[in-house]
Chains A and B, each alone.
Chain A
């Protein structure tokens, strides 16, 4: 029972790539990015897009919770924003990500399919014979 995945998250990585651009280049890139974004949202392919603040908290700890300032990723790795795409398939999502004008300036994009079920459930759907010994309650518990 494989249903086609239609939603993809684009994670925009890199937050300091604009530092070395000239004012004119900044304006040009901004124009290109905006044009690209408007086109995709007009075609109904872009559902939501939001930037992320550069500062946040990281919560961890198995028994006692630790709250630390984060994210600590280098600005090259830090996520500057995300998009939620609604497209036909993975290839289309990857193709759209490849059109991003920010890539020319050292930014990178991670494309991840949004699953309708959690990964374990999906695995069982795809491998019914192997999973026959276990019940759904045991895995999803």
Chain B
């Protein structure tokens, strides 16, 4: 009966009380478990079953109320759908009965039942999927998209919004990635031995890019972009908890994500304008995230390796632990950048180092450092180069030069919130002329 006839049980709860992102999480779990049963070459089938299970929930719950254990309901539905599919279609030929047995044993109530098989599937499934999605033979741009689709339950449209591209482009990337997995027989397993370290680097790199994509200046829909950051944090944390991923550089990556993510709420003002570090209200920084970041940073200080993640997390920690802008430990930040430029010769890193250098040795030193790198690609067309130069020049009261550089920067950015912030600064400069 519908819940109208069953008023005695009306306290079962409303859908709005469902755990945040429950459906996304359950989709990810179901996909990784079913992929374990079906084989990675049938990833798409697992995705379809997860989707169908959620649609069934949508067609049922609003009328009858939410089941006591929503996650178990969804899993049970996915299990039934999988068994139906196995009975109906002859997709797996000789393996059919073998797979059916595995699906039958799939415990749908992970909370109460202690099935060792299922425990392993739950623990290992997402990691196997992570290693498969981030396989070096899959194009880099497809890796993040596939991870978001299969592990985080994002739709192609949501991924497209986050990456500022079209849904069709994302669908194409996803199709190509699945095709590569089939063609190249990419295994659904956690690599071991000599391969592990190499492949782990690939996974960390993809998660890092995923985080950066979300963290980049707020273009597009800020909500969905911040979700990229939190998904990257979730996956990296999952990796760090597992013995295989529990490496110093994984902890360094997690630390860097938490420490940067903690400052997101203070990055824009009420009108959506980007705020510089010195303008930010530090009380808006997320203390809990900073604490977790510092914890992972201490866990990363093991072994003898110092990765770029270590250095970036260290820089971020300097900012997070400074009570105000003026007490920032710039010499420490500069020394971290000095080491980072040795590992990463990107001109963007060099530009950031110039900012740290100017804070230690003054704006002239900063300008000098930039002169030596400004012709390197793609820096010449990078708007922040001109913003930084303008900043140094206004510190030296050279407002004409600063205004010129701000105008150049304005031509190079199309992000509205940045344009607004730059126009404001240009206006301030012009007042001194």
Contacts and interface: CB of A to CB of B under 8 A. Distances in A.
Given A49-B4, A49-B63, A81-B63, A27 B55 contact: no
Contact of A30 (B5, B51, B58): B58
A33 interface: yes
Given A23-B26, A46-B4, 12 more contacts: A23-B50, A23-B155, A26-B54, A27-B22, A27-B23, A29-B58, A38-B14, A47-B4, A48-B4, A48-B5, A49-B63, A80-B59
Closest 7 CB pairs of A and B: A22-B155, A23-B23, A34-B15, A27-B23, A23-B153, A23-B27, A18-B55
Contacts of B55: 18-19, 21, 26
A26 B60 CA distance: 12
If over half of B's interface residues share one DSSP class (helix, strand or loop), that class is named, otherwise mixed; here it is helix
B154 interface: yes
Contacts of A9: none
Interface residues of B, number: 30
A26 to B, nearest CB: 5
Given A21-B155, A23-B24, A48 B2 contact: yes
A52 B132 CA distance: 41
Contacts of B24: 22-24, 27
B59 A33 contact: no
Contact of B153 (A22, A29, A80, A81): A22
Interface residues of A, number: 28
Contacts of A46: 4
A50 B63 contact: yes
Contacts of A33: 15, 62
Interface of B: 2, 4-5, 14-16, 18, 21-24, 26-27, 50-51, 54-55, 57-64, 153-155, 157-158
B311 to A, nearest CB: 35
Nearest to B52: A19
19 contacts: A15-B59, A18-B58, A19-B55, A22-B24, A22-B154, A23-B54, A24-B23, A24-B158, A26-B23, A27-B18, A27-B22, A30-B18, A30-B62, A34-B15, A48-B5, A51-B2, A51-B59, A51-B64, A81-B63
A55 B54 CA distance: 20
Contacts of A18: 55, 58-59
A81 B157 CA distance: 29
Contacts of A34: 14-16, 61-62
B58 A26 contact: yes
Interface of A: 15, 18-27, 29-31, 33-35, 37-38, 41, 46-51, 80-81
A26 B57 contact: yes
B373 to A, nearest CB: 42
Nearest to A24: B24
Nearest to B26: A23
Contacts of B4: 41, 46-49
Contacts of A80: 59
Contacts of B27: 23
A133 B5 CA distance: 46
A15 B42 CA distance: 27
Contact of B21 (A15, A19, A24, A35): A24
B9 to A, nearest CB: 14
A29 B27 CA distance: 16
A50 B2 CA distance: 6
A102 B153 CA distance: 21
